[in-house]
Amino acid sequence: MIRVALPFHLQKLAKIDGEVELDVPGPVTQCAILDALEARYPVLRGTIRDHVTQKRRAFVRFFACEQDLSHDPPDTPLPDAVATGAESFVVLGAMAGG
């Protein structure tokens, strides 16, 4: 199972508490995880990536295995540790001060 950690606002929106566990078929990529996530929680469509272009929203980031994967092509296979569920795929909002 793939583990996905969502930021506070998206957890509230999807009415979940803690990490999400997803069964992701085929190669485990950003795109495959987000497809599975949005299929389970349709309310998240448009909040992480654009409805039409499927591009990551500017202030959303993807981390895993202590790496920033935000700029990787969405079809790039993710690290084995994410694919095996040993590590979470982290979706988070960029930090903002003020």
Q: How far is the CB of 48 from other proteins (least distance, A)?
A: 7
Nearer to other proteins, 21 or 50 (CB): 50
32, 26 Cβ separation under 8 angstroms: yes
- Token representation of residue 36: 């599975």
Closer residue to other proteins, CB minimum distance, 26 or 98: 98
**Binding residues vs other proteins (CB under 8 A):** 7-10, 13, 43, 45-48, 51-52, 57, 59-60, 93-94
State the Cα–Cα distance between residues 79 and 43, nearest whole angstrom. 27
Burial 21-45 (b: 16+ CB within 10 A, else e): ebebeeebbbebbbbbbbeebeebe
- How many angstroms separate the CA atoms of 96 and 20, rounded? 25
Our CB check for other proteins shows the closer of 57 and 81 to be 57
Which residue, 34 or 83, has its beta carbon nearer to other proteins? 34
Q: How far is the CB of 19 from other proteins (least distance, A)?
A: 18
